[in-house]
Amino acid sequence: KVCDEYDGRRSQWQRTKQEKTIIYYINGVRSIEKGLATFGKDGRFQSWCCLACKLRLLSDWFQLLTQCSDSCLQQFYDPSNNCFRQEKLNQFIVNILQPIRDFDFAHLEPALLKGLAGV
């Protein structure tokens, strides 16, 4: 899983913005896995997006996924046709997602987070 891969690499990073992003990512995904185990992929993905917006990390989390190994991404996406391996498309998506961090999602409707605790 993505969390396990980043957890294994955690010791390689210093306390940088990237490491903090990774820690929030791992905690967020684990919170979703634990708290929303009965939800389908769409429900968990929606919660992932909402949580990332609330934390102002959506573009950062997207960029983390681009750094995953191919074997990790293959669990979720078609290895030959996904945006994480298409550099121009990837950058286009990141450019769209970055301005979202300017919005205040601190008071995001609790129903959208489906009861997830803070990360």
Ranked by mean pLDDT, which of 6-15, 39-48, 96-105 comes out on top?
A: 96-105
- CA–CA gap between residue 81 and residue 21 (Å, rounded): 26
Query: What pLDDT shows up at residue 96?
Result: 92
Quick check: 14 pLDDT over 60?
no
The Cα-based distances of 96 to 21, 62, 71, 100 in angstroms read 19, 11, 27, 8
What's this model's pTM, rounded to 2 decimal places?
A: 0.71
Q: Each residue of 22-73: pLDDT tens digit? A: 888 888 888 888 888 788 877 888 888 888 888 889 999 888 888 877 777 7
